[in-house]
Structure 1
């Protein structure tokens, strides 16, 4: 939207007092992975859908994402309450959460609970809906009623169904016997999907959704995050016979790098540990064999539910600018490994939610509706994936930009030509500015301050671009890692009350130097997008 762009022309973006210089050669693409424009999605607890629809905030924010990226963010309606959802035709209201919508033991719904979703979310939004797999009595009639209602109301907007949420926790929850394994799960999965596919409502539908399978919670290689001994991973479930590329579009795994669910993991919570590229890589690299198994089965692997800290997040970590930088690195690292989509979980009163629709009382404080710092990772990545055509981008991680506090990614067009670069400084820098956000707990406002002047580095990228080519630079920036407010993308912020974008966008421009060298200064705790412009500079030669 050029009317809110103000350009800053720079012939050289080197800052003489940079603390360090990072020279990054850009190699030819070696087995690059797909970078989808809808790579960043949201997972909403079923019990939180109605509160979100009571405010226009999320609708406005996701409208910006759709406009910038060119496609809307996918929405999964699923989570713990999916297996506590009961369809009730006799219900006098569209839904009823018992005992209430923050402590849900059972969610009763009827068909018109699905009304308004298509109108609220941006046009073209694809919905994934999680059916109740817990209740297997009566030939899965509850799940069948849910599927019929969802398809009847949402029509071609519902693209995928899941069967159950985190089914590898069913033994612990008392929903399956101790012998529950991939073979039993696969048998039940085929039984229920077979009933759906053979039903009159499915056969008569003009649009027929397919399925996202697996939906496993426990990481395969992190023992203290495994709630029970089982064989639930993508390798084992495909060996058990859950393979059908015509029906299974994706397999899903869930991942939370930190947790408040128990005292041991709660004691390890740290923004410094979250905002560390090597930790991000270790957490995600355990899924490389899982992604290969999904691909061998003719489908794809996605992170079907994730966020910074499980059990609803931790204010002071999840809602900070450091979490926005983490999410940016996390999504791009995932894409570079072949994990094509990441769904960030939302609850209407969760500490990790990027935006909260309604004011509420929490831990003795009155929190406002609003937008939190971590939303800006999505706003920035919408610019990263934006394209003038429908062809998908390709992405590869840069070996020379791979440190605890520094990462980099090269993005190529459909003809394998370098189009964009992203560099992220994940170093923790704490500031006295932007510490408070009224939609977050004031008790978690940071009191830490980093000493001295904020460090910066000069990134020296060795590209195949011709000297004199213009480049454009956007920044994901904030006062500090601990900031809860004051975050923006090249000067563009968000009004927390209305969701409107505010402020002119200050896009920097530079020129490719001899030998294809592009220089850019990068503050500690900041990310940059460098993209090649199609026209050459008038200063060339």
Structure 2
């Protein structure tokens, strides 16, 4: 696994331990990942494409995003019915360009003609990038149907067709009866090479003059999360890490295959209406919990397997090493079409923002939210339909506003700002608060802090905005929070200059449970036409002394802060004295966590005395709040961390055992082992090779630790005096 991936994991796993009254620091040189303007996309089930293009609603909404973000959302046409789609040259008996058999809600086969592709090719905003999923399941005639689909799709879409997928959720093929028990990564690679070989050797593909216009392939397309057994339909070896042999072989062993793979895709639905274990996790308060979005272990039992974004860190690392980014190719809040009262609420809007940004911060390039014209999780629905004894109208749901808010986050105002990158803030990482820093500049030395995003993920169930004509009335809120809605003040130490103006954009709603009344700085959208309604409410705050910015935020609300005048910071995340301290603790945490991972397999254990009152012993006896199996060697390495840093970076003499910092370092090792190592079996010492002083030096130097002038006494850690 790459150092950058470990850095992202460690930074996000950190628990903010500072005094609540102290500003949130933005540590120097946070590991960042690219933030693209079309990071938030949609996946449309093939059988529902005709419904979506039958009204201007989707076109208008997606156009609004494009005008703000600078690029339309990417569209993937794929899903379960992709592997049931068959192309027919002759007109269908119905006279239409498509027909679902026996019907749309229970389709077992979806027949289309070339005119079907023409029907939606011109509907979406100019500049939309498309991914199209070919039928890999039907292999009785050497995949002639898939090869024909590829040609027909490209004939209609042209250069807008950026990628093909071969099959949808191919790790479920055994369970669906489409492959036998021998189906595995090796068999998939063989069939991938067969089908892609036919396509790239075809006359139409070779006839594309510009190589940059030739569609590439999005490989993988796996459904089962790698670390969550209760979400896996069958026992198999499908993961991006296995597919690419950790980026060093497998499907990219041959250079010609590596050249045509443009990305890798996985799918994730954190909650579900269609299987028992995830049904127990189907709660709005869990969807809104930032720590659940990252990962959860421990009590209660039904949450022990609720591991979400963190499990994809190794998959991102493997994809990166294989030469292409990882995308979340299909996702939403609740699988099997969603759950009204969860999927269509303001809480889901906040979750969607957090989900996309958290994924981007670890290297998930794009996230595609699945749409069905009659699905409860869809952000907008084109036509009225009948479901669960109710008639649900066409319209816009609360979760749509999360996408429009993300468009504001990824928007750039000049050519200079075209390339954005993102990092999650360790100081804003709890169940009820998440935070992100957005930078401009392509190279690290040119990066400047441009925007900050804070999401209050706390639950506030209000009494307003409970209904929406396009959602089920039976799920309108009936349980409400007591008292007055809390308002907090966030203080953040930035590298911005005192007196500079900072614009504020807010994602607001009457409550977590709200289905209507949602807005982005007072902007709403007409539920019938999708047209933008109202003008954005202007709100500006001023940067205070030492770059401090203060902003009030309601329980269950999102805020975007953007520097609007003068030059933005030249040094990433530096925030004066507070920034130096933040740099110290962020860097130390990442370095120590890396050491902790290296020590995962050490067996020698004995009692180690830690900062009072915690004592850890090999026989599992302990006192104090922390319990961990701490190899004795970890204590030695932690104590010597400063000495190693000194030799790497060349600052003045400091005896680690006598310093104020060493106990904190030791304590962080304990927290890291307790919180992470027991839950993350993939992080083993074999992944890291040399664990000697030289590799540790590289880690420390990579994060540019600056211990000079730091004052550990400013931070309060439990058990550390």
TM-score by length of structure 1 reads 0.94
Report the more deviating stretch, 366-375 or 206-215.
Answer: 206-215
Q: Within 5 Å, which residues of 2 pair with 1:182-331?
A: 182-206=185-209, 207-239=213-245, 241-243=250-252, 244-282=257-295, 283-331=308-356
> What is the Cα deviation at residue 30 of structure 1?
2.4
Counterparts of 1:21 and 1:447, CA distance in 2? 35
Report the more deviating stretch, 71-80 or 28-37.
Answer: 28-37
Find the counterpart in structure 2 of residue 56 from structure 1: 56
Higher RCO, 1 vs 2 (CA within 8 Å, ≥6 residues apart): 1
Q: Within 5 Å, which residues of 2 pair with 1:100-115?
A: 100-115=103-118
> What is the Cα deviation at residue 456 of structure 1?
1.4
Higher Rg: 2
Report the more deviating stretch, 262-271 or 39-48.
Answer: 262-271
Find the counterpart in structure 2 of residue 139 from structure 1: 142
Counterparts of 2:21 and 2:150, CA distance in 1? 56
Counterparts of 2:22 and 2:76, CA distance in 1? 39
User: What secondary structure sits across from 1:534 in the alignment?
Assistant: coil
Counterparts of 1:410 and 1:55, CA distance in 2? 38
Report the more deviating stretch, 496-505 or 480-489.
Answer: 496-505
Question: Is 1:487–2:487 an aligned residue pair?
Answer: no
CA contact 1:487–1:493 (8 Å) conserved in 2: yes
Find the counterpart in structure 1 of residue 554 from structure 2: 523
Counterparts of 1:409 and 1:25, CA distance in 2? 11
Find the counterpart in structure 1 of residue 594 from structure 2: none
What stretches of structure 2 of length at least 5 have no aligned partner? Answer: 1-19, 296-307, 568-721
Counterparts of 1:226 and 1:22, CA distance in 2? 44
Find the counterpart in structure 2 of residue 404 from structure 1: 431
CA contact 1:42–1:76 (8 Å) conserved in 2: yes
Report the more deviating stretch, 442-451 or 257-266.
Answer: 257-266
Counterparts of 1:247 and 1:32, CA distance in 2? 27
User: What secondary structure sits across from 1:289 in the alignment?
Assistant: helix
Tell me which of 84, 96, 119 is aligned to 1:116: 119
User: What secondary structure sits across from 2:251 in the alignment?
Assistant: coil
Question: Is 1:514–2:545 an aligned residue pair?
Answer: yes
> What is the Cα deviation at residue 22 of structure 1?
6.6
> What is the Cα deviation at residue 104 of structure 1?
1.2
CA contact 1:22–1:457 (8 Å) conserved in 2: no
User: What secondary structure sits across from 2:244 in the alignment?
Assistant: helix
Counterparts of 2:470 and 2:143, CA distance in 1? 41
Counterparts of 1:91 and 1:313, CA distance in 2? 35
Instruction: Give a deviation string over 1:318-359, Cα, whole Å, max 9, x none.
Output: 000000000100100001101110000000000000000001
Counterparts of 1:37 and 1:505, CA distance in 2? 20
Find the counterpart in structure 2 of residue 35 from structure 1: 35
User: What secondary structure sits across from 1:383 in the alignment?
Assistant: helix
Find the counterpart in structure 1 of residue 607 from structure 2: none
Q: CA RMSD in A?
A: 1.2
> What is the Cα deviation at residue 102 of structure 1?
2.2
Counterparts of 1:78 and 1:122, CA distance in 2? 19
Instruction: Give a deviation string over 1:506-529, Cα, whole Å, max 9, x none.
Output: 120011001100000000000000
Counterparts of 2:23 and 2:456, CA distance in 1? 14
CA contact 2:251–2:258 (8 Å) conserved in 1: no
Counterparts of 1:509 and 1:21, CA distance in 2? 23
Counterparts of 1:274 and 1:340, CA distance in 2? 22
Instruction: Give a deviation string over 1:89-108, Cα, whole Å, max 9, x none.
Output: 12332111111222211100
> What is the Cα deviation at residue 27 of structure 1?
1.7
Counterparts of 2:58 and 2:164, CA distance in 1? 23
What stretches of structure 1 of length at least 5 have no aligned partner? Answer: 1-19, 537-541
Report the more deviating stretch, 492-501 or 234-243.
Answer: 234-243
Q: Given the superposition, is the C-alpha separation of residues 177 and 295 from structure 1 closer, same or farther in structure 2, using an over 3 Å criterion?
A: same
Instruction: Give a deviation string over 1:123-154, Cα, whole Å, max 9, x none.
Output: 01010000000001111110011001001111
CA contact 2:50–2:120 (8 Å) conserved in 1: no
> What is the Cα deviation at residue 21 of structure 1?
5.2
Q: Given the superposition, is the C-alpha separation of residues 279 and 22 from structure 1 closer, same or farther in structure 2, using an over 3 Å criterion?
A: farther
Counterparts of 1:30 and 1:427, CA distance in 2? 26
